[in-house]
Every structure is written in C-alpha cells, then in structure tokens.
Amino acid sequence: MDSQRLTLLSRIKDSDIYFSFIKSPTAIVSSVILIIIFFCSFFVEFVAPFNPFDPSSLSLMEAFTPPSWSEKGMDKYILGTDGQGRDMLSTILYGSRISLIVGFSAILFSLLLGVTLGLTAGYFGGKYEMIVMRLTDVQLTVPSILMALLVDGIARGIISRELHDEMAIYVLIFAIGISEWPQFARVSRAATLVEKNKDYVSASTIIGVSNILIMFKHILPNIMRPVLVIGTIGLALAIIAESTLSFLGVGVPPTTPSLGTLIRIGNDFLFSGEWWITFFPAIFLVLLAFSINLLGDWMRDTLNPKLN
C-alpha cells in the first residue's frame, strides 16, 4: 500500500460495507423508503395536507369519503377520510410519527439497558454474570408481547385513571423497552466473551488500562456490529409491538392515535365496506416494518462474515 493518507470519506467508499450497499438494490430501495417515511413523519406539520387534530378542519359532513380515485372520492382527500371526517393521509403521517417515536425510544432504552448489562456481565463474569443471565432467562420465558401487556396492566393499577392517558406513551415505551432488553444483553454478552478472550484485551490489562476504559473504549466498539443488527430488527419488532398494543386498546390513547390505533378504529368499519380506513394505515405499517426488516436483513448478511 502506498503512503497516502485516507480521508474518512474515501475510507467509507473503500469499505466492503459501502461496496455491498451499492450492489444491493434492496438495501438502497429500503433505505430510500425509510428516509422518506422518517422525513415525512418528523416534519409532518409541513408535509401533511391537513392537521387532523385541529377541530376547525374536521367536517362530519365529509366523513367516510372514499379514496380520491373511487367514484365518490374527493380530490382533496387522496386516501379518503375516516368516521370523523379526518383526512386519512394526514392521520397516517401523524400516527406514524407516534409509532416511530415510541419504537425508537423503546429500542434505545432496551439497547442501553441490555448492552450495559450484557457487556459488564460478560466482562466481569462470576456471580454477577450468573444473576444477569438468569434474569434474562426468566425474562425470555415471558414472551415480549405478554410482558408489555403485564407492564401496562400494572401501570394501570398504579397510576390513576386521569393521569394514565398522559403517561400512556411513557408506559408504552417502558413496557416495550423492558421486553426487548434480554436480546441485547445476550448478544452483547456473547460478543463480549469472544472479545474478552482476545489478546488485545489482555495486552491492555498488562499495560494497566482500567476495567472501565477496556470495556467502553476497547470492547464496546468491537461488539457494536451484532448489536446494531439486533437493534435494527428490534426497531421493526418494537414498532409492531406498539401497534399491536394500541390495536388491543392498551397502547397510546385514541386522542393521539398511532398506526395501531388507527387500524383498530378502522377495523370497526371493515364489515360495512369502508375498507380504506383500516387498509391504508395497515399498508403503511407493513411498508415501514418491511423496509426496516429488509435493511436489517441486509445488515446481518453483510456484517456477519460467518455466513459469507
């Protein structure tokens, strides 16, 4: 190799990950879709045609308008309106913001918790590791959706009803986050065990580097790959879990509907033929989860050299 210094950008361009990214149409397409969805959801005030939560924009007269391309459709409601005359497209975009916020926060919460516990358990070993791992075993015994339901149920018991609607979104983040952390703990512990036995960790110990520095400066960057893969797939799971809980009526309150809430509301109208009210939020949700999973799948294949 010649002596030229590589800038960060050229390093990225040179890397195998970049190469495999531009060679994978699915990875590109799914990232583009995700970027669009993220953009539209977070800047929803500027993107959405209506503000569905502004009472002045509601008109019960225009309730149950089908999508614009059908006979009775109206041009201003591209995807039709719901039972209260709210524009479907706008409610979906507002709803997806709620879903994304809950999904991201929950996964971040479980990632921080899980990685910290897994990393320290793997590094220190002994009784501490045993306790942490037993805890994940017990936790894994309870399926995540059930765990989330239980947390939610307990929260309903503890928090008074008036406060509950306000707190609902935090309870939900906590409930989903607490049900996902064992995955992160397991993966990061397993990866830490591998890294811990590598000689560079021994070398650092012999030099006299402290345990905390070894864990967070040396080991953590080396275990981030599997954690990121789990995190991406976990994000899809968290979004699905959120919508499921909301669908079951124990998630976010109907005043700030997420995608799941929208589908539940729409479900009531399914038999009377107003299919679009439940159909479009569902499609949007699946598109979102599918894109994240596609990206996660590609990441797993690329970042895990074992299968290549």
Please give the residue ranges that form the binding site for another protein (CB under 8 A).
1, 3, 5, 16, 19, 130, 134, 137-138, 140-146, 149-150, 152-154, 156-158, 198-200, 202-210, 218, 221-222, 236, 240, 243-244, 247-250, 260, 263, 267, 270-271, 275, 278, 282, 285-286, 289-290, 292-294, 297, 306-307
Tell me whether residue 62 or residue 301 sits nearer to another protein (CB atom): 301
Q: For residue 81, what are the β-bridge partners? A: 87
Tell me whether residue 160 or residue 255 sits nearer to another protein (CB atom): 160
CB of 112 to another protein, least distance (A): 20
CB of 57 to another protein, least distance (A): 28
Tokens representing 261 are 């809430």
Burial 138-170, CB ≥16 within 10 A → b, else e: ebeeeebbebbbebbeebeeebeeeeeeebbbe
Q: How far apart are alpha carbons 219 and 221 in whole angstroms? A: 6
Tell me whether residue 108 or residue 142 sits nearer to another protein (CB atom): 142
Listed in sequence order, the residues at least 6 apart from 90 whose beta carbon sits closer than 8 Å to its beta carbon are 44, 48, 49, 50, 51, 52
Tell me whether residue 50 or residue 184 sits nearer to another protein (CB atom): 184
Using DSSP's 3-state secondary structure scheme, residue 273 falls into coil
CB of 6 to another protein, least distance (A): 8
CB of 199 to another protein, least distance (A): 4
CB of 124 to another protein, least distance (A): 14
Tell me whether residue 62 or residue 225 sits nearer to another protein (CB atom): 225
CB of 55 to another protein, least distance (A): 28
Tokens representing 178 are 């607490």
Tell me whether residue 51 or residue 254 sits nearer to another protein (CB atom): 254
CA distances from 128 to 119, 121, 122, 125, 189 (A): 12, 6, 9, 6, 12
Using DSSP's 3-state secondary structure scheme, residue 76 falls into coil
Tokens representing 37 are 């969805």
